Amino acid sequence: MRLLLTRHGQTDWNVAGKIQGSTDIELNETGVRQAEETREKLKNETIDVIISSPLKRARKTAEIIASGRNIPLILDNGITERCF
């Protein structure tokens, strides 16, 4: 088994240097573009399933990476960033 890990794309809070914790922040334009670039880099990888935090920034990154492919997406509260 091979495990691929990726981090969510950029948010405005990342740019501002703010700790997001479990605050549900959306991706910004750069973050969407980063997710699209990651999708392109992974296009030839066999991916059986994507497991993501349900937070918007992680979920949107995962949805973009999975788009155009028949990859199941599982949202798992157990990997949600901890609350500060």
Q: Which residues are catalytic?
A: 8, 81
Answer yes or no: are the C-beta atoms of 60 and 42 closer than 8 Å: no
Closest CA to 5 of 38, 33, 40: 38
Cα separation, 4 vs 46, in Å, equals 10
